[in-house]
Amino acid sequence: MTQASPPRGGNDRLSGRAWGVLFVLCGAIFLEGIDIAMLNVALPSIRADLGLSTATLSGVVSAYVLGYGGFMLLGGRAADLFGRRRMFLAWLVVFLLFSGLGGFATEGWMLLVARFVSGVAAAFMTPAGLSLITTSFAEGPQRNKALLVYAGTGAAGFTLGLVIGGLLAAVDWRWVFFAPVLLAAVILVAALALIDDPGRPERTGLRIDLAGGVTVTAAMLLLAYGVVRLEHPAEGWGVTLASLSAGFGLLAVFTLIERRSAAPLVRLGILRHGPLVRANIGALLFAGSFFGFQFLVTLYLQELRGWSSVETGLAMLVAGIDAVLAPTLTPRLVRRFGTVRVIFGGLAFAALAYALFLPVGLDWTYAAMFPTMLLVGIAFALAYGPLTIAATDGVAAREQGLASGLFNTAIQFGAALGLSTVAAVNAALLEPGVTPEGALAAFRGALVVPLVAAVLAAAVTAAGLRTRVPAAAPAVAP
């Protein structure tokens, strides 16, 4: 029997317990956001204390990406197969333990292990948390409101993490790892008390697609490694191209396995759902543009302008306006104009924000940068949450974990691809013995990457404007 999605809700009013569940799940995505952001601003302090090489320091960031990107699809499907609450709680504990291990690290390898396992934990925890929302709240206004609050909280975690990380690193970089442990412990206690699993699977006749799981995880690990290596063109293209080729080859093998499997890990038919595919492509491009731009702005403010990490975080704090707009303004816009139009508007704002920053100079005041920072926050509020809605709307309840895994994989790979591409373009345009003016020219050249990505995302989304989806679309199911 096909399990349909939850019934559609007629209004967005949430009960007290529903708000409690939502706050717990929002706490988890906030935890993930501040964890990533705080580490990024603490890297110079970590290098100075542990004497890490540039390769090891870069590996500390890449290890998390490998774990996250490599296991995300498997993590999303595991939530459907083994229970969303169980996966969420178990991997939250793993995240807590290995974040603490990072705080006690005395050698580079300890940080690499801690970050890789933390990434794996997030790959299982994040889609489980998102699918708990999509199966706990009725499809329609209630779920939309919950997802928009969730998206705004995640973005706020990343924005605030830049400031909090700078302050903690000024005291002791180890607190960048210990602070998430404390927050994770609070979330764990609250989750045990509040969260039920409305989509708990039947255990009878459960079969595991082991071949598919191993193949897709190996493929995603290789693809993630290849994307990360794009950031280092000076090391040669041989290993990078080999990793990407092997990853795509294993994806082809995975497709053949899934076609023949009686109980596939990923039902390939879900990829025929147009809104889901467009949402994932749009999310990949949008994440690439956002994180690529954020990386370049950090480079500009700290290396070209000499600002501190705290000053940089404060400069970008206005982008955190999405935490206010996402749960307040965006639901009204979605109800009035529809999800796709709101996404398109957000992507248009993103493209405008990046275009306004293209003529940046060495003597720009913050007032000149402010419109871009504000527009980036508005763009995130309008695009990220509605993209989450579009990627999970109309999907059968028993495949919500899979849909969440696909969406988070798109976000993670988009972020990694955006960062690696802008870093590669910036490095390629830098000339030996570069002057500040030359560095600025390379920076401007790299800024074209997020602009193009945002425009492409808007073009993909525009295709959905021509498709009118019924108000009560049937759940995507075999």
Interval 220-250: pLDDT, tens: 888 878 877 776 666 677 888 898 899 899 9
- Distance from C-alpha of 171 to C-alpha of 210, rounded to nearest angstrom: 46
CA-closest candidate to residue 285, choices 154, 461, 124: 461
**Do residue 183 and residue 237 come from a single domain?**
no
Between these two residues, 467 and 17, which has the higher pLDDT value?
17
**Does residue 260 lie in a domain region?**
yes
Longest dimension (CA), the chain: 67
Q: pLDDT tens across 156-207, in order?
A: 887 788 778 878 887 888 999 999 999 999 999 999 988 876 555 544 345 6
**Do residue 285 and residue 416 come from a single domain?**
yes
**Do residue 282 and residue 148 come from a single domain?**
no
- Distance from C-alpha of 443 to C-alpha of 111, rounded to nearest angstrom: 30
Find all residues with CB under 8 Å of 438, minimum gap 6, and list them.
Answer: 430, 431
Confidence of residue 54 (pLDDT cuts 50, 70, 90): low
Q: Letter for the amino acid at 153?
A: T
**Do residue 215 and residue 182 come from a single domain?**
no
Among the three residues 247, 266, 285, which one is the final residue of a domain in this structure? 266
**Do residue 352 and residue 224 come from a single domain?**
no
Q: Which of 347-351, 420-424, 439-443 has the highest mean pLDDT?
A: 347-351
**Does residue 2 lie in a domain region?**
no
Asked if residue 340 has pLDDT above 90, the reply is: yes
Number of domains in the chain: 3
